[in-house]
Amino acid sequence: MADVDDHQALIVDSPAALEEVLTGHPDYDVQLESLNQWQLSWRRFKRHRMALFGASLFFTMVAVGILGPIVMPFNKNALVPLDQVVNNGRPPMIYPYFHPFGETQQLQYDVFTLVVNGIGLSLLISVGATVISTIIGTIVGSLSGYIGGWLDTILMRIVDALLALPLIYLILIASEFLGSGNWFTVMLIFALLGWLQTSRLVRSVMLSLREADYVDAARVVGVGRMRIIFRHLLPNAMSPIIVVSTLSVAGFIITEAFVSFLGFGVDPSTPTLGNILSGAQEAIGAGNWWWAVFPGLAIVVIVLGINFMGDGLQDALDPRAKV
């Protein structure tokens, strides 16, 4: 039991007694830290080394992609003056002229400028496509999974049908009708194909979450469908959605490179990572390896960074994991 004496401090010798004291003085608890699930996840993420490493790689590339085009914008008419091309443009050339990644053959572009601008545009396309596809996929998947019935059947058959279309042909047709080579068009096409996987994922998560007891608890007090989706289901479905959309940024970077390499992507005169690689095809045979290696490295660094980060997010967002 707790005893209060004029000269003595409070003696608390059992949990029950402590509870009793605290009940009488609820203010003791005011300073207690109470973390929600997101704060706990952030704490776990911060302790995940690979995730931090991946995140720093990725966000460095994002910074390069944002600042690079501002500091050294690409101008397709501005070639490197011939007197600066030393040793056939072989890198590294830091001084007296700053061309650290060397220069391209034929039209003498600075590879560093190309890569920096390529990172910016490629990230813009893939992040933009990811945002759009995640939003569409989440909406479709939520409706399909929670409301179910005929709506589910219709939406999922549409998804099945769209999944059957090959990406390359779709891009080919779209560039025919929507005007070829605009990065925005490419982004939209990626987004319109990317939401299919997301919607399936969200649907499956919703199907399992809607059976949860707390959803029944909400239904039994008369909470509406939309509020259940937004307040109960989506917050709990966020973890897999975040992980998948993070990884899909990497997927879109690769797809952009692949599509542009084949010549169906963004206009060849615009520097995306894929376009730069595509231009370097013949130059590699002539010994100009730096034209291809540096944009390739950029892709590797971005994708690797995202994958490490996604891995860490998966662990950090798992609510069953210990802090």
Contact yes or no for 108/89 (Cβ under 8 A): yes
| Residue 8 touches other proteins, criterion: CB under 8 A | no
User: Residues touching other proteins: how many (CB under 8 A)?
Assistant: 28
- Nearest Cα residue to 102 out of 273, 289, 270: 289
The distance of closest approach from Cβ of residue 104 to other proteins in the complex, given in angstroms and rounded to an integer, is: 52
Binding mask 198-217 for other proteins (x = CB under 8 A): --------------xxx-xx
The distance of closest approach from Cβ of residue 313 to other proteins in the complex, given in angstroms and rounded to an integer, is: 16
The distance of closest approach from Cβ of residue 251 to other proteins in the complex, given in angstroms and rounded to an integer, is: 28
Peptide bond into 91 cis (omega under 30): no
Contact yes or no for 277/262 (Cβ under 8 A): no
Stretch that binds other proteins, among 29-37, 54-62, 267-275, 309-317 (CB under 8 A): 29-37
- Of 143, 218, 241, 257, the one binding other proteins by CB under 8 A: 218
Tokens 């003056």 label which residue? 81
Q: What is the DSSP string of 62-100?
A: HHHHHHHHHHS---TT-PPPGGG--GGGPSPB-SSS-BT
CA distances in angstroms from 271 to 76, 91, 121, listed in the order given: 9, 20, 7
The distance of closest approach from Cβ of residue 244 to other proteins in the complex, given in angstroms and rounded to an integer, is: 19
| Residue 43 touches other proteins, criterion: CB under 8 A | no
The distance of closest approach from Cβ of residue 323 to other proteins in the complex, given in angstroms and rounded to an integer, is: 10
- Of 8, 36, 77, 87, the one binding other proteins by CB under 8 A: 36
| Residue 322 touches other proteins, criterion: CB under 8 A | no
Residue type for 125, please?
Answer: I
The distance of closest approach from Cβ of residue 248 to other proteins in the complex, given in angstroms and rounded to an integer, is: 23
Given the complex with other proteins, which of 90 and 219 has the nearer CB atom?
219
| Residue 236 touches other proteins, criterion: CB under 8 A | yes
Given the complex with other proteins, which of 17 and 188 has the nearer CB atom?
17
The distance of closest approach from Cβ of residue 226 to other proteins in the complex, given in angstroms and rounded to an integer, is: 12
Residue 319: is it exposed, middle or buried by C-beta count within 10 angstroms (0-12/13-18/19+)?
A: exposed
Count CB atoms within 10 A of the CB of residue 226.
Answer: 10
User: How distant is the alpha carbon of residue 264 from its chain centre?
Assistant: 24
Phi and psi angles of residue 216, each rounded to the nearest 5 degrees, phi first: -60, -40
Interface contacts to other proteins, rule CB under 8 A:
22-23, 26, 29-30, 34-37, 40, 212-214, 216-224, 227, 231-232, 235-236, 319
